[in-house]
Structures are given as structure tokens and as C-alpha cells.
Chain A
Amino acid sequence: MNALKVLRDLFKTNVEFAIGAVLVGIVVVFALLSFVSPYPPLDVYLVAPDVPPGWPHVFGTTSRGQDVFWLLTYAIRNTLLFGIAVALMSRVVSLVVGLLSGYKGGWVDRVLMSINDTFIVIPLLPILVLFFFVMRDRMTSGWLAVTMALLGWAYDARLIRSVAMSLRHREFTRTSVFSGMTTREILQREHLPYVLPIVFSTTLNNMNWSIGLEVTLSVLGFTDINTPSIGGMMYWANQHTAMVAGIWWWIAFPVLAVMMVFIGLYLLAVSINEYIDPRSRLSRIGAGA
């Protein structure tokens, strides 16, 4: 109930949060519409090709005889689900690494952070391209999600660690240690609740990151391009040289949709971050620094 109230207050007082929430809301509703789509997502040449936007094909149709509006609902749903899957899986790794590193300190911290920084620096795109090269036809979004989750946890682990480090010397941590709790219990029951808000905002950022990479890979044709996704739609549009042929709606609507996703998630993450950090909240109200 408390969290709901916070969200309502944020919506009223924070413009960025309101815009982000509206954008993400529109996108989610759009994705939900896929459940009532009159067309099956994988079939092609269902409707007349290359029809410009109008009634009954609101966003027009593709050169492959698909309705852009309904195809886009599937594409957004898959893309969002992909982002959520990667974010949830990578949260596990970054939570374990971040909490452990922050709580233990010393050589555990040094070793974990060395590995962590390694994963931050490595250029992931060539590695993912190599992954596609090896997998080829067996590439599925599930495998891609697992791989990206295994590679994309490091940045957030560092953030979580910085919060966990401040918890280490707090009174309640010492009490838990003296009452005989194991490291695992302390991290799970005592520290986890404190880092949850920041985990939430990193989840949104991580979704943006993974969706961005997924769109990029699919535009190049380096994913399972037959399952509808936003990048996949752009891939097929490029294959049919939609821009040259003047079928602009095939490209414009997916681009518009993905921009809404990115800007929406980003604004949500930024404003929630700002809410977590009370200093910036004060400056918003105008009460000093």
C-alpha cells in the first residue's frame, strides 16, 4: 500500500516520472493488444501488401502482407518480455556479487570487483555476434537472453555494492552478526530490503540495455528473425528496401514504438533514482542543496 502511495505522489509531483509512466503505459497496453490480434503472428501474406496507413489497416501493411499494427503488438510484447527476462536473470548475479562484495570487503571484494570491472569493459557486441555465428539456425531469444544475462550484470553489481558497503558498519548488521546469523541470512534478510529500491531502478536500466542490444542484433539479422520483434520488423523492412520503395510506415512505427520504450523506461529509472537519493529530492522542492 505504501509503495502505491509513493508512486502516486511521484506521478503528481515529478514530470519525468509522469511522462515515463505514460509512455511505458501506452507501450504495455499495446503489447497486451497482441492477445486479441485477428492475425497469427508468424504467418505472412495474410492481407494485401504495401497498403498505406488507413482503415482497416491503421498502420498500413508490410510488403510481406502483414498488418503493421497487429504485428507491432506482438513485436513489442516479445521485445518487452525479452528485456524483462534478461533483467530478472542478471539481477540474481548482480545481487549476489554486489551484496557479497560490499558486505565482505577485503580480498573477496577485490577479487569480485576485478572480475566485475572486466565484464564492464569487454565489448559485448562482437561476442554476441560470435555467439550468433556459432548458433545460426538454432539461435533462439531464450538462449540470447541467458547469454546476455550472464554478460550484463556487472554495472549494476557495482551500484549495489556501493549501497551494501554503507550497510556493513550499521548497528543492525553488527547485531545480526552477534546473534549468530550466517552471511547468507544477513544478506538475504537484512541487507536485501535496503538495496531493493536501487535494484528496481537498475532493472529498468538493464531492460533498456538488453532491448537496445537485441534490437541492434535483430536489425542485422543476428537473432531468430522469424519470431516477431521490433528489430526483426526493421530487419525485414530493410530486406525489402522499404525506405527506397516508399513503404515508410513499415519502419517508422517500429522506430517510434522502440523510442517510446527507451525514453519511457529511462525516465522512470532516472526519476526513481532521484527519489531514492533524498538530496536531489530536497533540491527539487527547493529546500536548500
Chain B
Amino acid sequence: MSGFALYALRRLGQFVLVVLVGIHIAYAITHATPIDPVEQSIAAVTQYGNTSPEAIALMRVSLRELYGVSGDPLQQYLAFWRRIASADFGPSLSAFPTPVSTLIARALPWTVGLLLTSTLLAWALGNLLGGYAGYHRDNRALKAMAAVAMGLHPVPYYIVAFVLLVVFGYLWPVLPISGGSAMITGVSSGWSHAASIVQHSILPAASLVLLGVGSWFLGMRSLVSNVITEDYVTYAELGGVARRRILHSYVMRNALVPQVTGLAMSLGTIFNGAIITEQVFGYPGVGSLLVSAVYAGDYGLVLGVTTISIIGVSAAVLLIDLAYPLLDPRVQHR
């Protein structure tokens, strides 16, 4: 078997393991805790207004069947997997009778779009600037940037998003602070809709980029300052290779390899951040869906979003892993 096939196979195994472990954690939480999710849902739904006892009893029976918490443990376990395998989490309680899978499919493109743009932007920007900062250690502007990155890096997503919300919502209201796009009534061109989508994504994307850039910047800076002490860099300098060329093709190229691994490893955390950011800015992605599902007591939707998140994030990690040999050809010869 060739090196790449072996590598790909191993990564695929890791992907399957992540999905299995993640879904088992979800299963354990929903089934092994002494609290009955069905009763929780009923309590949440009947909290406001009055529902007749007969209706509640009926609801209990149908919810038990729907959520697969009827029957012995083995049956429950199999029913749980059957639902996940067929991506069928039943109808949503809060948006009855729309199926959970439809709701998620509607929200997913928003999250994927926001995450993809902001993560790639943060990663590219952070690595580029971090590379310069590691190479030109005495540059004042880059030093200041490092200090800012250090201060910003440990702050949680919620705080940054919230501060942006306050600044652009109350102090200097120039950007839309909530929603995914403006409601467009009547005839309008596709362009104005697209422009509105972009405009609405600026703040959430900015808060994600702002936080993401710092850690890539700091990571790249220390990687580059390690790489430039290598003999081959000194040799290239002595050989009169242009400094720009040394930095771009020799130093940053090599320092980028661990940063790709880093990207794969931090995707879960980035996804967590996106959930929060969406909630703060009322962005119509899976994050907002998850939070409103909890408020509405919609068990199927919460479980559906959790499962999709686990599968989605680990699939993205798999993609990065499979692209990794393009950057690091040593993988194929191991």
C-alpha cells in the first residue's frame, strides 16, 4: 500500500472514532442521567399556558416513541443509532411539524459560510503577519500587534462579540447587529440580497476573525523565530538568497506545517465560538438554532444539532488531514 493510502486510511479511522465517541457521549448524557428528557420537554412546553391532562398524557406517549426512550436499553440504543443513521430526529417541537432535519439543513449553510470565511481569513492573516513578526523581530508595528494579540487571545468569544455589539449597536450604529440578511419585500435583484448578506455577516465574522487571528499570529511568530535559527536559513542568507524569498519560500513554508495541524485541532473550539457569536448577533445558523431549541424545550432539535456538529466538525478535520500531504510530502514516504 502506498504511503498516502495508509495515511488516509488511518485518518479515516480517526474520523470514525471521533464520531463514535462524540455520539456515545451524547447518548450517555441523554440516557444515563437520572433525568427524563421527555418529562423535561413536557415541562418546558407546558410552562406557559394550560394544557389539559389528557393532552399531556398523549404527548408523553408520543414523545417516548419519538425519542426512543421506550423499551429496554438495547432497543433504546438501537433506536438511537437508527435515527442518527437516517438523519431523522423527528418533527421539531418548537416549529411543529417541520422536521428537525429540515430546520438544520436550512441553518447549516449560514454557519458553514460564516465559519469558512472567518476561519480562513483569520488563519491566513494571522500566519502572514505572524511570519513577518517572527522574521522582523524589531519592527515596532509588529511588536505592538503582538502585544494586542496577547491581550486579545485569551478573551472568550462571547465577550468580544458582546463588546462589538455594544460599540456598533449603541455607540456607533453603522452596521446591522442582528439577523442574516435584510427582509426584502417586493422585487429586488439578487445582488442587493447578496450585499445585504455580506453586510450582515461583517460583525459576526469580524468578532471571529479578531479572536482567531491572535492565536495564529502568536503561534506563527514563535514557529518562525525557531525556524530562522536553522542552519539552512543561515546558509541561504550567506548564499545571497533574497530575504523576501527566504522568508516566504523557506521559512514560512516550513513553519506552516504545524499550523495546519493546529487548524485541524482547534476546529472544535472555533465551532464553539461560532455558536456563541451567532447567538449574540442573531445570525440564523445552527448556533442560534441550538440556543433557541434549548429555550423552547425542543429535545429532538438539540440532539440533532449536537450530532450534526460532531459529524460536521470531524468531517472538516478529516478534509484538512487529507489535504495535509500536499503541504508536507514526507507523509507519503513514512
Q: A residues bordering B, Cβ < 8 Å? A: 16, 114-115, 117-127, 129-136, 138, 151, 155, 208, 212-213, 215-216, 219-220, 222, 234, 243, 255, 258-259, 262-263, 265-267, 270, 283, 289
- Which partner residue on chain A sits nearest B158 by CB separation? A216
Asked if B78 is at the interface (CB within 8 A of a chain A CB), the reply is no
- The CA of A134 and the CA of B294, in the complex, are separated in Å by 10
- The CA of A53 and the CA of B309, in the complex, are separated in Å by 43
Given the known interface contacts A122-B268, A215-B158, the answer about A220 and B21 at a Cβ–Cβ threshold of 8 Å is no
Assess whether B154 is in contact with A263, with CB atoms less than 8 Å apart: yes
Assess whether B21 is in contact with A122, with CB atoms less than 8 Å apart: yes
**Residues of chain B in range 279-303 having any CB-CB distance to chain A below 8 Å:** 279, 290-291, 294, 299, 302-303
Asked if B310 is at the interface (CB within 8 A of a chain A CB), the reply is yes
| Residues of chain B with a CB closer than 8 A to A208's CB | 154
| Residues of chain B with a CB closer than 8 A to A138's CB | 35
Assess whether B294 is in contact with A124, with CB atoms less than 8 Å apart: no
| Residues of chain A with a CB closer than 8 A to B29's CB | 127, 130-131, 134
- Which partner residue on chain B sits nearest A215 by CB separation? B156
Assess whether B155 is in contact with A120, with CB atoms less than 8 Å apart: no
Assess whether A270 is in contact with B313, with CB atoms less than 8 Å apart: no
Given the known interface contacts A114-B14, A136-B40, A262-B156, the answer about A130 and B272 at a Cβ–Cβ threshold of 8 Å is no
Assess whether A133 is in contact with B302, with CB atoms less than 8 Å apart: yes
Q: Could you say which of B162-170, B183-191, B196-204 contacts chain A?
A: B162-170
Select which of B21, B30, B303 is within 8 A of A118 by beta carbon: B21
Give 9 pairs: A residue, B residue, CB < 8 Å, sorted on A.
A121-B265, A121-B268, A123-B310, A125-B271, A125-B276, A215-B156, A216-B157, A265-B154, A266-B153
Asked if B306 is at the interface (CB within 8 A of a chain A CB), the reply is yes
Output the least CB separation between A161 and chain B (Å): 14
Output the least CB separation between B216 and chain A (Å): 16
Known pairs A121-B313, A243-B170, A258-B156; list 6 more (Cβ under 8 Å). A16-B150, A122-B18, A124-B268, A127-B22, A266-B150, A267-B150
| Residues of chain B with a CB closer than 8 A to A255's CB | 159, 162-163
- The CA of A136 and the CA of B294, in the complex, are separated in Å by 10
- Which partner residue on chain A sits nearest B298 by CB separation? A133
Select which of A125, A133, A151, A265 is within 8 A of B275 by beta carbon: A125
Q: Classify the secondary structure of B's interface with A.
A: helix
| Residues of chain A with a CB closer than 8 A to B294's CB | 129, 132-133, 220, 222
Assess whether B14 is in contact with A118, with CB atoms less than 8 Å apart: yes
Assess whether A126 is in contact with B18, with CB atoms less than 8 Å apart: no
Output the least CB separation between A64 and chain B (Å): 20
Asked if B305 is at the interface (CB within 8 A of a chain A CB), the reply is yes
- Which partner residue on chain B sits nearest A274 by CB separation? B222
Asked if B121 is at the interface (CB within 8 A of a chain A CB), the reply is no
Convert B218-236 into 0s and 1s, putting 1 for each residue whose CB lies closer than 8 angstroms to a CB of A.
Answer: 0000000100010000000
| Residues of chain B with a CB closer than 8 A to A122's CB | 18, 21-22, 25, 268, 310, 313-314
Assess whether A133 is in contact with B299, with CB atoms less than 8 Å apart: yes
Output the least CB separation between A111 and chain B (Å): 10
Given the known interface contacts A123-B313, A262-B154, the answer about A129 and B290 at a Cβ–Cβ threshold of 8 Å is yes
Assess whether A130 is in contact with B303, with CB atoms less than 8 Å apart: yes
